[in-house]
Amino acid sequence: MKLERILQNQGFGSRRQCRQLVELGKVRIDGHIIDEPDADIPTTGLVFEVEGETWTYREKTYVALHKPAGFECSHEPKHHRSVYSLLPHPLVTRNVQSVGRLDVDTTGLLLFSDDGAFIHTLSSPKKHVPKVYRARLAEAGNEALLHSLLSGVSLLDEPRPVQALTARLLDEYTLEMSLDLGKYHVVKRMIAAAGNHVEHLHRHGFGGLALGEAPLASLAEGEWLYLEAADLQQLHPSA
């Protein structure tokens, strides 16, 4: 693939902008400046530098972010900073999208990709990909709360009771529960319907990936990393 096309494909700007990057000597491969935009470069295993920063060529990109509070999951936020401002510009330029959304005050694991089929698969309720949440409760939890969540609670816009896959108390005020559906404010609404309220919500896991565990063991709030092929397999724990 021509070098200017590679850069454009990887999110470094328009074709003209990418051509200029090459002509100005800002692109290196194997430590050597490549200043010919039409140079034919193999993309398999390609590692390159743009303005001193190292990148690996990725046909599709998959990213995990530890979302802090105070960020909106929108390219055009209304009241807070965009969560996309936490990602490097080339990823935003190549139009990665979040797999679902987290509320502005909710923290935790958020996935992004420019692979439409991947996003659809993880978002589809038919695939039953579980998400694990940890909620700080306004009132102490008890067995009655767990029973209600596991047996199902009624929500106004749902034709039948909505059940948690799992629910347990990590301590008196911390509830961990998992769901395989994504609905607007569903965790907060379920806990409210069960007789308690959420003071803070955190998404701890998505499929077989979880914050604090490999490959996300050291991912701090506001940080992101690429997910590799083996990591993507973990998203489908039953596969």
**Per-run averaged pLDDT (10 residues), the chain, 239 residues:** 97 96 97 96 97 96 97 91 96 95 96 95 84 97 97 90 96 96 88 97 96 96 96 74
Domains of the chain from N-terminus onward = 3-56 (3.10.290.10), 62-125+208-234 (3.30.70.580), 130-206 (3.30.70.1560)
Three-state secondary structure call for residue 24: coil
Size of the chain, expressed as the number of residues it contains:
239
pLDDT value for 239:
42
- Residue carrying the six token digits 């089929």: 117
Indicate which residues carry an active-site annotation: 103
pLDDT value for 25:
96
Q: Let me know: does 35 contact 10? Beta carbons within 8 Å.
A: no
In our burial notation (b when 16+ CB lie closer than 10 A, e otherwise), range 185-217 reads: ebbbbbbebbebebeebbbbbbbbbbbeeeebe
DSSP state of 46: -
Task: Write down the pTM of the prediction.
Answer: 0.92
